[in-house]
Structure 1
Amino acid sequence: MYLNSFISSFKRLFTSPVSAGNYIKILFTCFLMQSILVVSALVIHDPICLFFRTVPDGQLPSTAQQRFQNAAIAKNFGRRYNAVIIGTSLSENFSTDEMRRKLGVDTMNLSISGAEFNEMLTVLNYTLSRNPQVKTVFWGLLPRHVFASEHHAELPDTFPAFLYNDSDLDDLKAYFSKRFLLTPQTKDENDIWSWYSYYKSNGFFSRKCYFDSACLLMDEKIPPVDYTVDNIPKLEEVLTAHPDRTFYVFTPPRSGLFLNRHADEYHRALLALSTLLAYPNLRLFDFTQMRSVTMDISRYKDVGHYDAAANSAMVTAFAENRYRIVPENIDDALAQVLTYQRTTLADLGITDQDIAIFCAASAQAENKGHSKQSKQ
């Protein structure tokens, strides 16, 4: 009855003489219908699974927009898991299958390439609020997360904070962008963000790639951390708010050459993190001590990014409590970090000829780039 009444009213609207009032009504009705159709299409298409689209067990939705995608995973698929990984690209190669075997946890990886501290904190808080069954957190922190710059004291404008609040209505804003006019994709939950196989198969784990990034590092083109914002109080808030959850906080094993240039930053970050050891739900691990990894440049795509086997070694270390920091060994651990200041190129198997060749090639490529820009 109501449908017939609506249809009759709709017909009268379009068959009545077109007065100014009717004209406005027609425009408004067309706009409303178009809006409903667009919103319905977006929701039905739902490429990152923010609303209703489902994926098979063992699979997760996967797009290149990690900051958007992780919100959907935490919101709609988090119930599958009792653990979560939070970190940067350095945490993306963890095998959740291996973590299940060695640690007995079902883990979702919500790492974000290049993530800042407040981005990770927002993802973590949202995930824990939505998923009370998640009792274990693995959180990779770099010195720039422990002590951030003023520039990174707040969430960046590019971060979709509206996806991480208590309201689902404003989630629609995520789809009002051409970036999501794409085909829905899924990946195995075990390696949803893993990049190692791609880079390995494309020749990136080579001495040339390592030396190219080493040249930039040695030219001091990588800025030091600006120690102005202390995030330790925020970490304390998290640990205090979740006494029933266990937090595995760890410093990733960047290469020995990187640590040589940034030993002071890692020392200060580890010292600050050690002030949290009184919290019984914290387990702190320092993987800069994993010298079988840090001193082997064949394990690295560049001076910072290691192979998937390093992630596997960290899982084993979690299970065996290796490289764990406790009050009894913190002084020794801090001293070991500073020993990287004495690391030489020879210690890493790098010859002066290696550096000369690849730095010259890097400089030549840079000069060509400048020359090309000047001609444009």
Structure 2
Amino acid sequence: MLYHKPYFREKTYLNNIRLSAKGIIDNENFDSVIIGTSMTENTSAKEADEKLGNKWINLSVWGSYLNERAIILNYLFQKKDIHQIIYTIDAFTLNDPSLKMFNHPPIDSFDFLYNNNIYNDFKVYLNKKFILCALRFSKKEECVGDVNLDKLLNWEQESKELFGGFHNWMKYKDKKEKEKLKNMILNAQNFLPQTNIDIEKNKQYIKTYLLGIIRAHPKTQFYLIIPTYSRLLYRVLYLDEEYYNKDSILFSKYQAVLKWLILETQNYPNVKIFGFDDLDYADNISNYKDPAHYNSIMNSMQLDAIKEQTHILTPQNMDNYFKTMEEKIKNYDLSPFIQYIKDNK
């Protein structure tokens, strides 16, 4: 829908939001947006309508850094009067985006869609996937998208066999993932938070691609969500050499950045930061399909907290919050996982 809605078929949406957000913004009627990562892809816009009022849409972009979401947000504010935004502040997104942790498409593969030149938008179709789709007149979902916008990004149903416990991870994950996870658990050591963390680069990055947008739109209410990763993730994260062998954000750096952000946003009356890591939810691995990704129960809890104005982090309560979180991570018992791995060699 870069130029118009479909003429001879029903309206559909591609689940690649990097490409499809422009058409959705141009053609849909909404005034509030969920624009997180995979951590909010399961958040229901209809549920947000019911709990928070206004007309919501979910434009979450998997694995997206702040600078990627800024491209879409800047275009969004040109086109719409936006009342509320739910936005995740994931650990990796607060880091230097040059430290690629995922197989991201390059920025220049989609940023041209969000400038003021409509004539170069056609470039998005000039690749193998869309050329083959056109030649075959294909109506498959990967070519024309899905008709259900509210379910467009939801991955929970596709991953339902992975929820329910560690044994499901070992049963359904591919061999490479299983071996990697086993190795990380068996080699995990004591949880040792660090001090004297340098976050100056992180501050400048966040000021440029998040706080600058918030400051420019004081009438829009921003709800910043700290994703509730499992305790297991924090215990084994530093062993993941593929993603974390550079200047990555582990618990200590993430905590330092978040504390700074909580203090910094006191100057922004249109911002609230929500955290759930002091709850027992993250202790239960059954809630997760992998060490990071939780089920939609947490997404609903986040909407409830925004509605009831609970779980808000402030300079007054953040030290106790992070102390509780740290203690829960430190005391998290890995022995059931280790025993399971040894019993199922």
TM-score scaled by structure 1? Answer: 0.71
In structure 1, what residue type is equivalent to 2:167?
K
Shift of 1:344: 2.3
Structure showing greater relative contact order (alpha-carbon pairs closer than 8 Å, 6 or more residues apart): 2
Structure 2 counterparts to residues 245-264 of structure 1, below 5 A: 245-260=220-235, 261=237, 262-264=250-252
Q: Tell me what 2:4 maps to.
A: 52
Pair 1:177 & 2:151 matched: no
Q: 1:191 aligns with which of 151, 159, 175?
A: 151
Q: Tell me what 1:232 maps to.
A: 206
Query: In 2, Cα distance between the equivalents of 1:226 and 1:170?
Result: 41
Query: In 1, Cα distance between the equivalents of 2:341 and 2:256?
Result: 29
Cα gap change, 1:242 to 1:175, in 2 (>3 Å): same
CA deviations 1:295-330 (Å, max 9, x no partner) are 111111000011111111111111112211123212
Query: In 2, Cα distance between the equivalents of 1:276 and 1:215?
Result: 40
Structure 2 counterparts to residues 156-305 of structure 1, below 5 A: 156-157=106-107, 159-180=109-130, 181=133, 182-183=138-139, 184-200=144-160, 203-205=161-163, 206-210=165-169, 212=178, 214-215=181-182, 217-218=184-185, 228-230=201-203, 231-234=205-208, 235-260=210-235, 261=237, 262-274=250-262, 275-289=264-278, 291-305=279-293
Query: In 2, Cα distance between the equivalents of 1:54 and 1:103?
Result: 31
Structure 2 counterparts to residues 1-376 of structure 1, below 5 A: 49-54=1-6, 61-77=12-28, 80-132=29-81, 134-151=82-99, 156-157=106-107, 159-180=109-130, 181=133, 182-183=138-139, 184-200=144-160, 203-205=161-163, 206-210=165-169, 212=178, 214-215=181-182, 217-218=184-185, 228-230=201-203, 231-234=205-208, 235-260=210-235, 261=237, 262-274=250-262, 275-289=264-278, 291-345=279-333, 350-357=336-343, 360=345
Cα gap change, 1:217 to 1:340, in 2 (>3 Å): farther
8 Å Cα contact 1:250-1:284 kept in structure 2: yes
In structure 2, what residue type is equivalent to 1:259?
Y
Cα RMSD for the two superposed structures: 2.9
8 Å Cα contact 1:92-1:193 kept in structure 2: yes
8 Å Cα contact 1:60-1:189 kept in structure 2: no
Identity in percent: 25
Query: In 2, Cα distance between the equivalents of 1:217 and 1:321?
Result: 38
Shift of 1:54: 4.2
Cα gap change, 1:341 to 1:204, in 2 (>3 Å): closer
Q: Radius of gyration: which is bigger? A: 1
Query: In 1, Cα distance between the equivalents of 2:331 and 2:88?
Result: 24
Shift of 1:113: 1.4
Q: Which runs of 5+ in 1 are unaligned?
A: 1-48, 361-376
In structure 1, what residue type is equivalent to 2:336?
I
Shift of 1:66: 2.8
Query: In 2, Cα distance between the equivalents of 1:233 and 1:191?
Result: 32
TM-score scaled by structure 2? Answer: 0.77
In structure 2, what residue type is equivalent to 1:281?
N
Query: In 2, Cα distance between the equivalents of 1:64 and 1:354?
Result: 37
Higher helix share: 1
Shift of 1:338: 2.2
Query: In 2, Cα distance between the equivalents of 1:83 and 1:130?
Result: 13
8 Å Cα contact 1:94-1:312 kept in structure 2: yes
Cα gap change, 1:118 to 1:214, in 2 (>3 Å): same
SS of the aligned residue for 2:77 comes to helix
Q: Which runs of 5+ in 2 are unaligned?
A: 171-177, 189-196, 238-249
In structure 2, what residue type is equivalent to 1:236?
L
Query: In 2, Cα distance between the equivalents of 1:216 and 1:123?
Result: 38
